[in-house]
Amino acid sequence: MRLDLCGVRGSTAAPGAEFLRYGGHTSCVAVSHDGAAEPTLILDAGTGIRAASALLDGPFRGTILLTHLHWDHLQGLPFFSAGDREDSRADLLLPEQPDGTDAVSILSRAMSPPHFPMEPPQLRGAWSFGSIAPGEREIEGFRVLAREIPHKGGRTFGYRISDERSTLTYMPDHRPTALGPGPDGFGEYHPAALELLSGSDLLIHDAQLLHEELAAEELFGHSCGDYAVGLAREGSCPAVLLFHHRPDRSDAALDEIALRFAGDTGVAVARQGTVLEL
Ligand SMILES: [Zn+2]
Ligand SMILES: [Zn+2]
């Protein structure tokens, strides 16, 4: 499969000269089948989904899969121009809500007047909005495993996405310290995370924090890069992309993080605009 990293930030977009190299858009990864010209599966709809539009010549025809409903994973949705046109087809899927609220109602809480001038069903084209439970299913010809993982403020899923050849694990927002400190003090390498990682070629994981920030900031729901690297080691995953950068982390600060992990084989700091063949 091919991955286009369309947005790698967490929390809120980061425009400005000091964020140009790693990029300022919030979470969005576009997934294409081997040899396909265009993506059919989009993970999260942060502001990076605008960059996903640029990958398409015509309308989007595929599925948008949300890990959860926080702003930095949703606010790009109404600006997804390849989806908001008469000839598009988009199926949006989000985690089933604990209180049973349906997908349109829950999305409309964030996207409706007076917060925003329109509601999700007013997007042009053939849109559907649905909820998924944890488990395995086929989506756009990919095998997708969904598992609930700890974060903060709303049900959050991690996903494992496989084609015939390769497997990606996507956990952009994850607070493993919610389950305990774990063997390294960065959070538990818990069963859901390890199941999502099983057989994976690449882990894209929350690295919002530095380990020295964890004690003061883990209540915001995130993890540190050291956890992502430790989890990959526990799950025998050969490659890790540190993702969901804090919005104030400048290019220089992210270069420093890359240096910290320079001795760890297969670990890289995610940059917007990167294209990966898995
Ligand atoms: Zn986030
Ligand atoms: Zn979040």
Burial 136-149 (b: 16+ CB within 10 A, else e): eeebbebebbbbbb
Separation of CA 246 and ligand 1 centre (Å): 9
Rounded average pLDDT over 116-138: 98
Between the alpha carbon of residue 154 and those of residues 106, 275, 277, the distances in Å are 11, 30, 32
Q: What pLDDT, on a 0 to 100 scale, did the predictor assign at position 219?
A: 87
Burial of 89 (0-12, 13-18, 19+ CB in 10 A): middle
In angstroms, rounded to a whole number, what is the distance separating the alpha carbons of residues 262 and 266?
Answer: 9
One-letter amino acid of 189: Y
Helix (H, G, I), strand (E, B) or coil at 30: strand
Q: What pLDDT, on a 0 to 100 scale, did the predictor assign at position 218?
A: 84
Burial 44-72 (b: 16+ CB within 10 A, else e): bbbbbbbbbbebbeebbbbbbbbbbbbeb
Q: What pLDDT, on a 0 to 100 scale, did the predictor assign at position 205?
A: 98
Say if residue 156's pLDDT is above 90. Answer: yes
Q: Which residues surround ligand 1, an ion (CB under 5 A)?
A: 10, 72, 173
pLDDT tens for each residue of 217-261: 988 999 999 999 999 999 999 999 999 999 999 999 999 999 999
Q: Which ligand is nearest to the CA of 11?
A: 1
Q: Which ligand is nearest to the CA of 26?
A: 1
Separation of CA 210 and ligand 2 centre (Å): 17
Separation of CA 244 and ligand 2 centre (Å): 9
Separation of CA 3 and ligand 2 centre (Å): 21
Mean pLDDT for all residues in the chain: 97
Separation of CA 35 and ligand 2 centre (Å): 32
Backbone φ, ψ for residue 258 (5° rounding): -60, -40
pLDDT tens for each residue of 172-209: 999 999 999 999 999 999 999 999 999 999 999 999 99
Banded pLDDT at 28 (limits 50, 70, 90): very high
Separation of CA 154 and ligand 2 centre (Å): 8
Separation of CA 11 and ligand 2 centre (Å): 7
Element (H, E) at 136: strand 135-139
Percentage above 70 pLDDT, the chain: 100
Separation of CA 87 and ligand 2 centre (Å): 31
One-letter amino acid of 220: F
Give, as one character, the DSSP assignment of residue 13. -
